Amino acid sequence: MNDARHHTLLIELGCEELPPKSLDRLAAAFFAGVCDRLDKSGIGFDRDASRPLFSPRRLAMTIAAVADRQPDREIERKGPALQAAFDEAGNPTAAAQGFAKSVGCEVSELETLKTEKGEWLYLRVQQAGKALDELLLPILQESLDALPVAKSMRWSDHDFSFVRPVQWLVILHGDRLIDGRLFGKQSARHSFGHRIHHPGPVVLDQAANYLEALEQARVLVDPAVRKQRIQDSVHKMGAESGGEARITDSLLAEVNNLVEWPVPVACSFEDEFLEVPQEALIASMEDHQKFFPVLDPNSGKLQSSFIAVANLDSRDFDAVRQGFERVIRPRLADAQFFWEQDRKQPLEASRTALERVVFQKSIGTVSDKSSRMAHLSKKIAEISGENEEQAARAALLCKCDLVSQMVGEFPELQGTMGGYYALDSGEPAAVAQAVSEHYQPRFSGDALPSSPLGQVVSLADRVDTLVGIFAAGLKPTGNKDPFALRRAALGSVRLLTETRLDLNLDQLLALGANAMAPFMTVSPDVLLDVRGFILDRARQYFRDNGADTRLVNAALAAPLSTLSDLKARIDALGAFIQRPEAEALVAANKRIGNILRKADVEFSSTIDPDRLVLAEEKDLFDEVSRLEASLPETFAAGDYSAALADLAGLHGAIDQFFEHVMVMVEDEALRDSRLALLERLKSLFDRVADLSRAG
């Protein structure tokens, strides 16, 4: 066997500035592709100690303890069957000679492999492992070709393309340069540092010294180190200015991918801009300029300051600060202009413009949608005891900001700006808050609307979309979901489970169909489809929140009223299933279900007690009758834990019944009475869950 040497492998592909929003994904995919292919090729390395590295100008990685070659291995080669390998005179045939040639030996050197199915020519071949140098370049090229690049670029007169033009290539194994060529660049042992602080080459003597050498050249190539430095320094600078820097994960990640040597700069703007809603100013700073706003740590209100992150250590930070302040002012002035222009007319006046915005051609415009939402919101508010007129008003106005100049510039502010414009137009505070909140939850894990009216309008919006789009024949297929119906359904599940909106799901969908009637007839089959779609999301929602899949399915098999009731039944079932008698009761429910299914006879649910002849069936009848009288009140109160505790008390009577009573007897009247008893027993359990599915 060969003795492989193990060293750190450094790979660096230097590029023109890479796209910051996809840089993390590209680096991770490149790293995973190389590691997977090294592993597949049999080259040993320590994956846990390896890591992807990147900056705006490079995709790199260090892979620990990489062997310089594959291990030698023994390969077994099976040739032609013995009877086909030699002719009648015992001379080797062309098949035998061809096989011998393919394995590099004479026919006389071949062995014979004997199995139950016959005999074949056979040879064990020692194959030397290939060197890393021979394998690595194809591995790198395949990994780069497989990157999730949305749009490739070509440069110069080359016939190849990549996400950005490639400027240099480094491939070091320990202190040894591996010769190779990618994207027209020959591998070398020099990288390049910061454009300003260290524009010349950085000579690398060892792959293991890569991080230190780049840091001396003012490049933090480890993204985790760079991100931590940005986060810590921005937080510190925000505190020094008397505030608290707002650092979102998405902005931090993007800024991290824009700089190689991050240096924070404290900046400010004129107080007059603070008259504009702070969400618009924050969007201007974060989305357009990648600046970190500074908020009051107590009130959370925006201060007239922000922190920019420069990509160099300047000798004149005043000039750098003034430059950042100079570029933010026009952005803030735009937001101020939009705010002033949008307020020149009341919010309701924008409904006219909504009549020209098509939501979906079969179900009308956005104006039509808001009218349906107003009708539906009023009904939901009536059922849930909220202010009906305010709910309808909020629904009527909630989409008006879509045609505002501010939302045209910052689409993510839809709803938020509508709330401000509603207040400015003299609408009640509750209406304005509902307008502002009705898009929530915007994504998985987002907060629900905090106000009851916001919850009502949010639910109406989602129900209208689900019923309308399904009725238009556009339910999601595969990965295609252009109207975000899965998100709408999950949002509906959360609203119906986590808020006071304790509404019957079927009644709610029927209300949605009634509101849709002037635009399209919604068939019962469509409503069943929507119902099933929502319940699929509910099933996933409960599983994601820790419920056992079997218990969720068992509860869903019982009659459904509201999703909050479903949640209560699942929770109670989770506690019940831990009881010592639960396993036997689950088995009994399965047995009862099987008996009722196989009976295949018509029988009445009415039981004549005089026809019951055995003490065990009479005892069970008495227990079932007692619970039929007492449990409806417990069910009505939603106390399913108590109901299941009472039902668990039937354990002994059920066991005695099955031990001593034959159900399918020839006496038709007796058989029907016993079947009816089992059906009534199971219906008590089924009011909570189909226990036969819980095991």
Measured between alpha carbons, how far is 362 from 468 in angstroms, rounded to an integer? 9
For CATH 1.10.730, list the domain ranges present in the chain: 570-693
Q: What is the pLDDT, as a whole number, of residue 398? A: 98
Are 196 and 237 contacting, i.e. CB atoms less than 8 angstroms apart? no
Over its C-alpha atoms, the chain yields an Rg (Å, rounded) of: 36
In the predicted model, what is the mean pLDDT of residues 90-107?
85
In the predicted model, what is the mean pLDDT of residues 65-94?
85
Q: What is the pLDDT, as a whole number, of residue 326? A: 97
C-alpha pair distances (Å), 150 with each of 19, 21, 29, 257, 262: 11, 12, 13, 18, 28
Higher pLDDT, 459 or 117: 459
For CATH 3.30.70.260, list the domain ranges present in the chain: 6-70+131-216
> Phi, psi (5° rounding) for residue 295?
-110, 155
Non-local (6+) Cβ contacts of 439 within 8 A are 414, 415, 458, 461
Q: What is the pLDDT, as a whole number, of residue 2? A: 56
Q: What is the pLDDT, as a whole number, of residue 670? A: 87
Strand-pair partners of 123: 77
Long-range contacts of 79-82 (CB under 8 A, 24+ apart): 79/103, 79/110, 79/120, 79/121, 79/122, 79/123, 80/120, 80/121, 81/118, 81/119, 81/120, 82/112, 82/118, 82/119, 82/120, 82/121
Q: In the 8-state DSSP scheme, what is residue 654?
A: H
In the predicted model, what is the mean pLDDT of residues 347-371?
96
Q: Left if phi > 0, otherwise alpha if psi is -120 to 50, otherwise beta: which for 364?
A: left
Measured between alpha carbons, how far is 475 from 471 in angstroms, rounded to an integer? 8
pLDDT tens digits for range 189-246: 999 999 999 999 999 999 999 999 999 999 999 999 999 999 999 999 999 989 999 9
Are 499 and 521 contacting, i.e. CB atoms less than 8 angstroms apart? no
Q: What is the pLDDT, as a whole number, of residue 609? A: 82
Nearest to 199 by CA among 262, 260, 264, 265: 260
Q: What is the pLDDT, as a whole number, of residue 49? A: 96
Q: Is the pLDDT of residue 103 over 80?
A: no
pLDDT band at 601 (very low <50, low <70, confident <90, very high): confident
Are 61 and 50 contacting, i.e. CB atoms less than 8 angstroms apart? yes
Higher pLDDT, 202 or 73: 202
In the predicted model, what is the mean pLDDT of residues 671-678?
87
pLDDT tens digits for range 412-457: 999 999 999 999 999 999 999 999 999 999 998 899 999 999 999 9
> Phi, psi (5° rounding) for residue 266?
-80, 130
- The two tokens of residue 379 are 């009904």
C-alpha pair distances (Å), 432 with each of 294, 349, 393, 675: 26, 16, 10, 59
Angle (CA) 372-463-511 rounded to 5° is: 65
Q: What is the pLDDT, as a whole number, of residue 431? A: 98
In the predicted model, what is the mean pLDDT of residues 388-393?
98
pLDDT tens digits for range 373-382: 999 999 999 9
Q: What is the pLDDT, as a whole number, of residue 167? A: 97
Superfamily of domain 6-70+131-216: ACT domain (3.30.70.260)
> Phi, psi (5° rounding) for residue 3?
-105, 105
C-alpha pair distances (Å), 273 with each of 327, 341, 405: 14, 15, 17
Q: 434: number of CA atoms within 13 Å, CB side?
A: 32
Q: Is the pLDDT of residue 307 over 90?
A: yes
By CB atoms closer than 10 A (0-12, 13-18, 19+), residue 26 is buried
* Type of residue found at 260: E
> Is residue 590 helix, strand or coil?
helix
Nearest to 268 by CA among 239, 287, 293: 293
Q: What is the pLDDT, as a whole number, of residue 278? A: 97
pLDDT tens digits for range 562-573: 999 999 999 999
pLDDT band at 372 (very low <50, low <70, confident <90, very high): very high
Q: In the 8-state DSSP scheme, what is residue 305?
A: E
In the predicted model, what is the mean pLDDT of residues 579-592?
88
C-alpha pair distances (Å), 219 with each of 164, 202, 262, 679: 19, 11, 9, 75
Are 339 and 277 contacting, i.e. CB atoms less than 8 angstroms apart? yes
Non-local (6+) Cβ contacts of 470 within 8 A are 485, 526, 529, 530, 533
Are 101 and 143 contacting, i.e. CB atoms less than 8 angstroms apart? no
Non-local (6+) Cβ contacts of 581 within 8 A are 648, 651
Measured between alpha carbons, how far is 342 from 192 in angstroms, rounded to an integer? 50
pLDDT tens digits for range 243-290: 999 999 999 999 999 999 999 999 999 999 999 999 999 999 999 999
pLDDT band at 157 (very low <50, low <70, confident <90, very high): confident
By CB atoms closer than 10 A (0-12, 13-18, 19+), residue 233 is middle
Q: Is the pLDDT of residue 606 over 80?
A: no
> Phi, psi (5° rounding) for residue 541?
-60, -50
In the predicted model, what is the mean pLDDT of residues 22-39?
97
User: Hunting for tokens 């869950």 — which residue is that?
Assistant: 689
By CB atoms closer than 10 A (0-12, 13-18, 19+), residue 366 is buried
> Phi, psi (5° rounding) for residue 425?
-85, 0
Measured between alpha carbons, how far is 372 from 513 in angstroms, rounded to an integer? 10
User: What percentage of residues in the chain have a pLDDT greater than 90?
Assistant: 77
Q: What is the pLDDT, as a whole number, of residue 90? A: 82
Estimate the crossing angle of helix 651-660 against helix 615-636, to 10 degrees: 150
CATH number of the domain located at residue range(s) 570-693 in this protein: 1.10.730
Nearest to 182 by CA among 55, 356, 14: 14
Q: What is the pLDDT, as a whole number, of residue 1? A: 44
Q: What is the pLDDT, as a whole number, of residue 3? A: 61
H or E stretch at 426 = none
In the predicted model, what is the mean pLDDT of residues 334-343?
97
pLDDT band at 83 (very low <50, low <70, confident <90, very high): confident
* Type of residue found at 215: E
Q: In what order do the strands lie in the sheet with 292-295?
A: 244-245, 292-295, 302-310, 263-268
